[in-house]
Structure formats: structure tokens, C-alpha cells
Amino acid sequence: MRVRWQIFGFLSAFAMLSYVQRTSLGVAAENIMPELHLSQVQIGWLNAAFATCYALAQLPGGILGQRYGARLTFTVVGLVGLIATIATPLAPVLLTGTALFVALLAAQGLLGASQGPVFPMVAAVFETWFPQRQWAIAQGLNTLCMNIGGAMTPLLIVVMTGYFGWQGALLWIALPAALLTGTWAWYGRNTPRAHPRVTAAELAEIDTDETAEPQPMTRARIRGVIGDRDVRLLTFSYFCMNYVFYLLGTWSFLYLVQQRSFTGLQSGFAGTMPWVGAGIGAGLGGYLADGMAQRIGFRWGYRLVPLCSLPCAGLLLLATISVASPYVAVLALMATFFAIELNEGAYWAAAMRVARADTGAATGVMNTGGNLAGMVSAPIVGALSGAGHWNATFVIGTVFALVAAACWLVIDPDPKAG
């Protein structure tokens, strides 16, 4: 196996665990709310604390990661995320009332800040370690692994809560995070040239022009990235798409429990299915984007997937609230998440192609916009769903999906192609 795919395995494991960590609160909320006397609106604010700090850490994380390298960055990410993961279940042991809620907000904020550099640095590592023809595939497969983490979480938390309680379930999540962080600190390297197991043949496959140590970002380069037309368009479109992503990823489990009356292990299996669709979509979308880019050019090769799939996702959201059968609703959610995650490879590969050596900063900007959607959606969905207005939350999601698709009519990932 080429070393770049081993590095890919580590990065995908970080992505997977990040989604286990962030999704666990939404799954455990069913037990957390009555035990800690929290309202659904307060759960929405906890989700907003994560999303806010996560969004604000994107660009700084990409810049600092580019300066200090992937090896140190992912080690720090793993350690800080480990502390935040442990803090959430331990806080109720020491605190109650307002002090407890503030501590939970702080823990979710710290978790969000720790994960901010993850995906900008994943993109920067792929830009350095992989040939351009494999960028969308690598991004799509990485998102597949991320969604496997999301798929594992509902059933994992439900089963472990039955044995250890919700606090014990969240504490067990810390163990694989600690093992992964330690192993990466030993094996990971910033570039192919720095890794002792990378051969000359693999360097030639990657393209030696892409293997130099990343240079620190200057203010002029940062301004250039932020001011780039296509980076801005990708960021706004990604914001709109991620509104739907956060709606599905954070709130679909509670929707199935509260609106569709799933309970116990049945709710765990039902909550897993949308994430299964997301994972399949992410993996397939990367192959589609790269395959079409090689056949018809990067501009339309990257555009066609979101132009087709995002409107479909919006229609499927409407189907979810229209069908009578709860099992058909699960399938509709699964298909919606599939259609949304088909686009990850196209978004990230387009940003990498526009930015090249500044990939960490450019994808940090794009993912900042994407996760501002989490800040915006959390209090809106928390308030609407807490009042029983689940249909309204899905209709709003449909509007965001259509706007995200429309942006791709003017996004140009290959501005010099003619």
C-alpha cells in the first residue's frame, strides 16, 4: 500500500471520530434533557456553541496548520478534543443549574474549536500528498469515513447508554480518540519527502512539485484568498448546503423520536440510516466529480453533481414530511442525506483547485461559511422543533438546498480554462 493511503487512513479516522464526538450530544439529548433539566432550546444552544467555535476556528486553524504542519496540528487537535469529550459527561458530577449549563456550553465550544482545523488541514494534506486527479476521490472517501462516524453514533450511544448511562457512553468515546492521537504523533509526517517509507516511485506518482514544505501564510496571501470570487461563491453555497447538513446530522434523530415515535434500539437503527445514505453519497460523489472532470473538464465536471443533486435533496426533504409511514420517512431522510453528501468531493476539490498552495486557508474560509450554517440553524431548529413545528424546519431546508444549487451556475473551479 502506498504511504499516502496510510496517511489517508489516519486523516479519515480523525474525521470519523470527530463526527462521533460531535453527534453524540444530539443522540444523548433524549436522556440528558430530563436528567439535567434542560430544554430542547438549551440543547439547541449547546449545538450552537459547538458550531460557533468550530466555524470561527476554520480559517485560523487552516493558517496555523499550514504554518506548523499536519503532524503537530492533528496531535493538538486530538488532545484538546479528548479533554472536551471527557468534560461533557463529568461536568454534572461537579455542577448543577446555571453553572452546569455554562460548563456544558464551554465544553461544546472547546470541542468545536479543537475540530476547526481538521477539514482544512485534511484538504491541505491531500493537496500535498495526492495527485490532482485523485483530489475529489480522496475528499469523497474521507467524507464517507466521516459519515460512518455519524452512522455509528446513534446505535452506539443508545446501546452503551443502556449499559453505562449516557455519561459512561460519552466517556468510552474518549478511548479511541486517545489511541488515534498517540499513533498519529508517532507515524504522521507533514510531506511525502519527510516520511522515511515513501519511495521515489511514489514521489513520482504524486508529482514532486507538490511535495515541498508548505510556506507560512502572509497577510497579502490571506487577503487574496478571502477576496477571491470563487472562494466567496463556494463559501456561500457551502453555507446553504450545510444548513441542510446540520438539519439532518444534528436533528434527524430527535425528529424520528419525537415526530415519528421511534424508541429504544429501534430509534438507534432508524437514526443510523440517514448517515448510511450520507456515507454512500460522499464516497460515490468523489468518484463522479473526478471522473467527469477528466472527461469534460473541471468546470462542468465539478458543477454537474451539485446542480443535479441539491434540488433533489430539497424535494426529498418535502417528501420526508409528506409521507405517512415512519419507515418511508427514514428512507426519505436517508436519500436526502445521500443527495447532500454527493457534493462534498466537488466542493472541496473545487476549492483546492482554485487555491492550490493556499488550500488550507481557502478551505478554512469555505468551511467557516459552511459551519456558520450550524450557528444559524441550531437556535432556529431548536426553537421550531421544540414548539412542534418540524414541518417548517424541513421547508426552510428545502429553500437553502435550492439556493446552494443555483450558486454553482456561476462558480468556476477552472477560471483559466477558457
According to DSSP, residue 190 is labeled S
Q: Give the CATH number, domain containing residue 77.
A: 1.20.1250.20
Picking from 104, 105, 119, the residue whose alpha carbon sits closest to that of residue 57 is 119
Residue 121 counted as domain residue: yes
Cα distance from N-terminal residue to C-terminal residue, the chain: 38
State which residues form the domain around 67.
3-407
Task: Label residue 217 by pLDDT band (50, 70, 90).
Answer: low
Query: What is the arithmetic mean of pLDDT over 243-264?
Result: 89
| DSSP H/E element including 246 | helix 229-258
Question: What's the sign of the alpha-carbon dihedral 161, 165, 170, 171?
Answer: negative
Res 210: pLDDT: 46
Instruction: State the amino acid at position 51 in one-letter form.
Output: A
* R_g (Cα) of the chain, nearest Å: 20
Query: What is the arithmetic mean of pLDDT over 305-322?
Result: 96
Picking from 78, 81, 86, the residue whose alpha carbon sits closest to that of residue 104 is 86
SS3 342: coil
Angle between helices 135-172 and 344-355 in degrees, nearest 10: 120
8 A C-beta contact, residue 354 and residue 362? yes
C-alpha cell at 259: 415526530
Q: Is 325 left (phi over 0), alpha (psi -120 to 50) or beta?
A: beta
pLDDT at residue 152 tops 90 = no
* Rounded Cα–Cα distance for residues 11 and 143 (Å): 10
Query: What is the arithmetic mean of pLDDT over 120-132?
Result: 89
pLDDT at residue 212 tops 60 = no
Res 215: pLDDT: 59
Residue 231 counted as domain residue: yes
Residue 141 counted as domain residue: yes
Residue 417 counted as domain residue: no
DSSP notation for 363-417: HHHHHHHHHHHHHHHHHHHHHHHHTT-HHHHHHHHHHHHHHHHHHTTT--S-TT-
* Rounded Cα–Cα distance for residues 238 and 251 (Å): 19
Query: What is the arithmetic mean of pLDDT over 365-371?
Result: 89
Burial of 197 (0-12, 13-18, 19+ CB in 10 A): exposed
Task: Label residue 146 by pLDDT band (50, 70, 90).
Answer: confident
Cα dihedral: 208, 214, 217, 221 (round 10): 10
Res 270: pLDDT: 87
Say whether pTM exceeds 0.85: no
* Rounded Cα–Cα distance for residues 40 and 390 (Å): 13
8 A C-beta contact, residue 303 and residue 408? yes
Residue 394 counted as domain residue: yes
Query: Taking the CB of residue 164, how many other CB atoms lie within 10 A of it?
Result: 14
Residue 142 counted as domain residue: yes
- Residue found by looking up cell 430544554 in the block: 39
* Rounded Cα–Cα distance for residues 346 and 302 (Å): 5
- Residue found by looking up cell 497579502 in the block: 220
Burial readout 104-129 (b: 16 or more C-beta within 10 A, e: otherwise)? bbbbbbbbbbbbbbbbbbbbbbbbbb
C-alpha cell at 149: 462516524
Residue 51 counted as domain residue: yes
8 A C-beta contact, residue 235 and residue 368? yes
Residue 415 counted as domain residue: no
SS3 323: coil
Res 316: pLDDT: 97
Res 379: pLDDT: 85
- The count of structural domains within the chain is 1
pLDDT at residue 349 tops 80 = yes
